[in-house]
Structure 1
Amino acid sequence: MDLFKSLPLKKQEYMNRLFRNCTEEVKYYMSVIDVEADQTFIKAGEECKYIYIILSGKVTGVEWPMHEKSYFFKDFGPGDFFGEIECFAGLPRYRISILSSTKCRLLAIPSIYYMEWMRMDVDALFMRTQENISRLVLQTAEARKYLFMEGKDRLMVHLVRKYEQKIPAPEILVLNQTRARISEEVGISIKTLDRNIRKLEEMNLLTLNKGKIVITKTQYLQMKQDIDFYVNG
């Protein structure tokens, strides 16, 4: 399908196999929508009316597990699905919020027609079940590792994510976020955040310019290497 031409080749092939026998209702009612950066297009707690597939751009998953404190837990990109797991689990409302990190193009399919298709198409159902189980297993492992990370490592994960959200990748990234916002996204106190910013500055993994965090491509690559070693061991 022409809809998926912007996806990487392997994901194009996957989508073409998946949608090979989709129903006429899905074809008729699905639509392409564009979302500007920093927009919440799925809000936790709202009715799960649509399944969304990212065609281009990047998004971030946000949870409020306790006391309404947000937790920015993972970035997603082209080919990723949202709202589907809730529908498979029989949950009427979205479990997480999804925020666009960049300008995005999405394919929106009404959940009622998507689920009717899944019930009729055994091959498509198997493909999506396999993908969802794999995703849940990996996310659970990643969340467990993140939980036990020190504040310094959490901050590096955050900075690597922010660098990778910029398309094309910059030579120098100036992080235009307040300390309060960073501490909220990383999940540590402002006092702990400031202490770990100083640690990374001493390690030459970032610099401060008028209070703002600045990261060079070299510093990003070093942090990326350190985080990959920690996560993948």
Structure 2
Amino acid sequence: MSELIIAKDLCKTFSNDSVQQHVLKNLNLEIHKGEFLVIMGNSGSGKSTLLYSLSGMDRPTLGKIIYEGEEIQNYSDEKLCVFRGKNTGFVFQQNFLNDTLTAIDNVMVCGLLTHKNRKKLAEKCKELLLKVGITEEDFNKFPSQLSGGQKQRVAVVRGIINNPPVLFADEPTGALNSDNTEKLLDILTKMNENGQTIVMVTHSIEAARRGDRVMYLEDGVIRDSISLGKFTSRDSSSNQKLNHFLEEMGW
């Protein structure tokens, strides 16, 4: 697989009243096209900070982020915003849907970044919402009228409406019950089967099993990683392999 994103000597430091906190420390990472990469680690290890840096949501203090051969860390704010709109999707633990917009309009408003034809965009929104289990009768419901699982599925569609080469997900199942967690993971797995690159942060071992590579972050550095292969084409021994890996990491 070819490289989609490369992080070189990535550092991120936060300063507060002359106190510096070094969250990422000379981190190096390659993410390949079509990969489902899972990032794990204890709270405070730098997982979300890494995700935000890789996606262009935040800038590293030092180091390079190379996206398909082009460095993006020094882009202007305007250029970085355009880059994110065209190249990345993001799913948060909290869905952050606009309460004043319907389910379909929450997706539409993001799709307008790259789609000029509103009619074709609306058709695409409906198609994707149906694929993740949002029925036509729910299209025009407001977030307050949807379940937690439905809202998170709408958020996933919002994240992929512009056909981003990579989808970032920060604890996407953290606020869901077990049934909705399984449904969302099935959606992400299917997307990955169809070629979508996914980078997901999670504390859940069940969620981590969906990845074909699991990376463990500790104190701002990559301690180790393990390759599991695609979720739909591996046997049960991969579960034991992941469990053993996480035990070695002290999980």
Structure number with bigger Rg: 1
After TM superposition, the score normalised by the length of structure 1 is: 0.29
Question: Higher helix fraction: Structure 1 or Structure 2?
Answer: 1
Determine which structure has greater relative contact order: mean sequence separation of CA pairs < 8 Å that are 6+ residues apart, divided by chain length. Answer: 2
After TM superposition, the score normalised by the length of structure 2 is: 0.28
